Structure formats: structure tokens, C-alpha cells
Amino acid sequence: MGTTPPLTAALAGVPVSIQRQGVWAGRRQIFVRFAEPAETATMYSTEALARELNRGLERSVFHSVCISGRDALANDEYLAAALRQVTSRVPVMVDTDGQRPDAIGALHGFLQMVQVTIEAPASAPALDRAWETVAAAARLGCAHAVVVVGGDDTSDADYLQIVEGARGASAATAVVLHPGPAAEKGVLDRRWSVLMEHAMGRHADVRVAYRLSGQATMR
């Protein structure tokens, strides 16, 4: 009888950093970061990842664990097997683009926060899958947030469309609006006051915030 090969994944590491964006921005986290194409990757077995997490969580104090990086939820089976071996009860967050809603159920019981990050404007099919991910988290009783990362060409209508979609997916969604790079370099103008008035007319839990930057931060 053959044996099942160990589950492995290509990670950019298990770094310690400060969350730069979203609902837990500013929190000190230990990251499980799946490698982007341009990043140097190391293959981790589930046992190796669990050891790294357990070691880090025993040595220092963290608000939470953040699972992030390229298409992290494509590795739902791997993540479930690794998190099952983590002894600490520190909260676990996944920061995802929301394109794999079925993976949320596979990680039920391990996640305390599902954060769907959307770069605006976004296509209708991508938004539909994002709302499925939000709704899946809500059904499972997991806290959930939508983070809108704006560009300099992101319109008020783009932001408001996402706020409405998030509200439609779950009334309990926390929504964070991040301005585009040009706005982040200066002071928010009156546009943002008006935009927030319209946004909160659609959904009560909306905030606008700058993203953190610098070597100490990570998404």
C-alpha cells in the first residue's frame, strides 16, 4: 500500500511584520506568505510551517497570524493541515482577493477573520466571487471585512459599488476604503467627506484610512 505524500507549499517565508492595510492595520502579526512569481520561494511541509508558527508564537507576543500572498486559498488543504498542528490560540486572519469562496468552508474552525482585498475598479465577475467569499464567511460565523485599495483613477462610483456589494453580501461586513497613491501623499480633500457620507448611507460600517508603509509593514 502506498503512502500519501506530504503536503508542501512554496512560501516567501514566515516573517514578523506590522499589517499595513485593512481592518487589522497596525497590528503586529506573524505572516504565512505564499510566494509571488518574482519572490524567492522555499518549500515548506505542513509540519515545517507548524513548527515555525509554534516557535514564533512561543517566543514573542502577536495580535494574530496573517495568511497572505499569491492565491493563498488555493492551498486550503495545506493550510488546514498545518493550522491543525498549531498549539497557540492566537487569532488567524486570511487576506485574500476573494476568488476562491469554496476554500472558506475548508478552513472553517481555523479562521477568525476573512479579509477580502479588492483593487478598484474591479470586474463584475471578480466582484461576484468576492461577494460569495464574504457570504461564505458570514454563514460560518467568521468575522469578515472588505478592503478597497483605490488607484488614482478610482472613481466615487467605483468605491460606492463595492460598498453596496459588501453590504449585500453581509450586513456585518466591515469596509475599509484606502485612497489611491496621490491622495496618500497629501491631505484628504472634501471629496472624501462627501464620499463617506454617501458610503455610510449605503452601509453603516465604513471607514477611510491611509495604508501604512515602510520596511516594518507587510500585507
Q: Which residue has the cell 487576506?
A: 95
Residue 65 in any domain: the answer is: yes
Containing structural domain, residue 45: 8-211
CATH number at residue 152: 3.20.20.70
Which backbone phi and psi does 129 adopt, to 5 degrees?
Answer: -70, -35
- In 3-state terms the chain splits into helix, strand, coil percentages (rounded to 5) of 35, 25, 40
Residue 219 in any domain: the answer is: no
164 C-beta neighbours (distance < 10 Å), count? 13
Q: What is the pLDDT of residue 3?
A: 45
Q: What is the Cα–Cα distance from 142 to 112, expressed in whole angstroms? A: 6
Residue 217 in any domain: the answer is: no
Residue 3 in any domain: the answer is: no
Per the structure, the count of domains in the chain is 1
Residue 216 in any domain: the answer is: no
Residue 155 in any domain: the answer is: yes
Q: What is the pLDDT of residue 6?
A: 65
Q: What is the Cα–Cα distance from 126 to 141, expressed in whole angstroms? A: 23
Long-range pairs for 194-202: beta carbons < 8 A, 24 or more residues apart: 194/156, 195/156, 195/159, 195/160, 198/156, 198/160, 199/159, 199/160, 199/163, 199/175, 202/160, 202/163, 202/164, 202/167
Residue 188 in any domain: the answer is: yes
Q: What is the pLDDT of residue 5?
A: 54
Query: How confident is residue 1, by pLDDT bands cut at 50, 70 and 90?
Result: very low
Write out the three cell numbers for 85.
498542528
Q: What is the pLDDT of residue 4?
A: 52
Q: What is the Cα–Cα distance from 142 to 133, expressed in whole angstroms? A: 11
pLDDT digits 0-9 by tens, 76-134: 999 999 999 999 989 999 999 999 999 999 999 999 999 999 999 999 999 999 999 99
Does position 148 have pLDDT exceeding 60, yes or no?
yes
pLDDT digits 0-9 by tens, 10-47: 999 999 999 999 999 999 999 999 998 878 899 999 99
Q: Which residues pair with 206 in a beta bridge?
A: 175
Residue 93 in any domain: the answer is: yes
pTM, full prediction: 0.94
